């Protein structure tokens, strides 16, 4: 699974790239509390920064990513 991150655009360091990748592996929903939990678990303490960095890297906010992943998982199980 590749990250669609543009390092220069994000001003990211490899650790941030690893954290975004880790966040993508964690279950998320569109509930703000669960997105905050994910943010804290990967070591970021600022939800606004997490949302901004995630959006820049994945072209969707974490809540939408979580919904899309859940929908894809449900569709795969139904098939």
49 occurs within a structural domain = yes
Above 50 in pLDDT, residue 68? yes
Q: Which residue has the tokens 């390092």?
A: 7
2 occurs within a structural domain = no
73 occurs within a structural domain = yes
pLDDT in tens, 2-45: 444 444 455 555 677 788 888 888 876 666 678 888 899 888 88
Q: What is the pLDDT of residue 46?
A: 92
Number of structural domains (the chain) is: 1
Q: Which residue has the tokens 């974490």?
A: 62
State residue 44 phi and psi, 5-degree precision. Answer: -105, 135
Q: What is the pLDDT of residue 51?
A: 92
53 occurs within a structural domain = yes
Q: What is the pLDDT of residue 30?
A: 61
CA 66 and chain centroid, separation:
8
**Contact partners, residue 55, CB within 8 Å, separation at least 6:** 61, 62
Q: Which two tokens stand for residue 28?
A: 């998320």
1 occurs within a structural domain = no
The domain of 35 spans 7-78
């Amino acid at each position: 699974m590749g990250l669609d991150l543009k390092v220069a655009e994000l001003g990211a360091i490899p650790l941030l790239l690893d954290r975004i990748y880790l966040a993508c592996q964690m279950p998320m929903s569109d509930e703000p509390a669960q997105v905050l939990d994910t943010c804290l678990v990967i070591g970021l303490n600022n939800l606004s920064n997490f949302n901004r960095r995630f959006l820049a890297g994945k072209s969707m906010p974490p809540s939408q990513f979580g919904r899309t992943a859940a929908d894809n998982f449900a569709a795969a199980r139904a098939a």
